[in-house]
A and B are shown apart, each in its own frame.
Chain A
Amino acid sequence: MDESRRSFLKGIGVAAAAAGLGCTFPLLRALASSGTPAAGVQTRQLCMVIDIEKCLNEDLIKDCTEACRIEHNLPGGESDPERQIRWMWTQKFEHTFPDQAHSLTPKELRGEQVPVMCNHCTNPACVKVCPTKATWKRESDGVVMMDMHRCIGCRYCVVGCPYGARSFNWHEPRPHIKNIRPEYPTRMRGVVEKCTFCAERLREGREPACVEAANRITEGAMTFGELSDPNSKVSALLKTTRTISRQNALGTGPNVYYIV
């Protein structure tokens, strides 16, 4: 009896150890995949420089946002503005740069509509909190990407992003898309999406849709390029003009700059 009990206990021990090892495997795997890009390594980083003055033009803004909407099959006509899917939109100067506008800034200046989008931060708050790496910073060009196939819809990134750049698909988006452009997929309900600097166009060597649309109306309204390249147009602009970025003090390192 004692002998059989001992072998029984042994069996249980082996089974428990096996189960324990089995459980650690996904943990180890998770640990291995949790790395953020090594600090100090200069990786490529795409960035955008927006000229606020040149963008004070309703037609230009309309063309930009419309180009983005068509390009990515964004649903429109949402009755609740807070549930609108938006990759690019405008908001008041004082809300965009709360630490730049003060109580004596003239009302007109405070109310100026500034185009905003995902900042593709160097240290993105959304990427830090994502539990599944459904959003991540692409090392090849610094774009903060989204994988709609993997997103579980927990909305932690929506909560984590201080710029309001992320939208959640509260309902089925398709019925709200006017003309579906078959070349680009729509999204399914329950996932988060945002601007990807038009990753699908970048892949083909083209500029983002909004930049193209804006510059068609006013040359130089938006400039897109590589920050890590000292000879690029954006680098030159950043060197020679007075630029600001959104809520710099938060330490996220936004990569969309504004010429004031």
Chain B
Amino acid sequence: MSKGIIIAGLIVFLIVATFPVWYTSAAGGSRPQPEPPARDAKVFEGKEYRCVEDKVYMTGNHMQLLDNWRNLVVREGERFYTSEAGEQYEMSLTKTCLKCHPERDRFCNKCHDYANVYPTCWNCHVELNGNEPKGN
């Protein structure tokens, strides 16, 4: 008798545990596609900008990078970041990142929604187009 209960319990457990996986695929979920910046968005004052670090690094580590910037700027009073490639960037979400990625709905939120993470950046920082920020 208890055997049956155990097996039934295991099955229920497996269903619940794998729920996120099959639910996402059943709901037609696919890998998020954040929009890359348009070509002309990368040019400012006649100078072409590249992202501070390469795409793979940024995808995996932008949160640590931003956290690090935040501490360096707010706590240490520093201003510039030197990338792996040796280029200098001002450490500023608004003045640097948002120049190429001005709309978070088309960039940040694509992955954040998919990964179900809600960073609180936008509670204080403002999008350049001045849209009254909404939600996360």
A interface with B by C-beta (< 8 Å): 73, 136, 138, 140-141, 145, 147-149, 174, 180-183, 185-188, 199, 203-204
Which of A147, A174, A183, A204 is B74 in contact with, Cβ under 8 Å? A147
Which of B77, B124, B126, B127 is A199 in contact with, Cβ under 8 Å? B77
Q: Which residues of B61-101 have CB atoms within 8 Å of chain A's CB atoms?
A: 70, 73-77, 79, 94-95
CA distance A135 to B123 in the complex (A): 20
* Best-buried of B79, B123, B124 by chain A (most CB within 10 Å): B124
Majority-rule SS of B interface residues: loop
CA distance A72 to B20 in the complex (A): 43
Closest to A173 in B: B124
Chain A's nearest CB lies how many Å from the CB of B64? Answer: 15
Majority-rule SS of A interface residues: loop
Residues of B within 8 A of A73 (CB): 126
- Cβ of B130 within 8 Å of any chain A Cβ, yes or no, is yes
By the criterion CB–CB under 8 Å, are A182 and B126 in contact? yes
Chain A's nearest CB lies how many Å from the CB of B131? Answer: 10
Which of A140, A141, A174, A182 is B128 in contact with, Cβ under 8 Å? A182
Interface size class of B (residues with CB under 8 A): 10 to 19
CA distance A180 to B70 in the complex (A): 21
Chain B's nearest CB lies how many Å from the CB of A117? Answer: 19
Closest to B78 in A: A203
Residues of A within 8 A of B130 (CB): 180, 182
Closest to B130 in A: A182
Closest to B125 in A: A185
Closest to B74 in A: A147
CA distance A187 to B95 in the complex (A): 18
Which of A140, A183, A185 is B77 in contact with, Cβ under 8 Å? A140
Closest to B126 in A: A182
Residues of A within 8 A of B123 (CB): 188
CA distance A203 to B128 in the complex (A): 21
Which of A141, A148, A181 is B124 in contact with, Cβ under 8 Å? A148
Chain A's nearest CB lies how many Å from the CB of B132? Answer: 8
CA distance A203 to B70 in the complex (A): 14
Chain B's nearest CB lies how many Å from the CB of A188? Answer: 4
Closest to A133 in B: B75
Q: Knowing A147-B74, A149-B74, say if A186 contacts B126 (CB, 8 Å).
A: yes
By the criterion CB–CB under 8 Å, are A188 and B77 in contact? no
CA distance A185 to B76 in the complex (A): 18
- Cβ of B30 within 8 Å of any chain A Cβ, yes or no, is no
Closest to A138 in B: B77
CA distance A136 to B126 in the complex (A): 25
By the criterion CB–CB under 8 Å, are A187 and B77 in contact? no
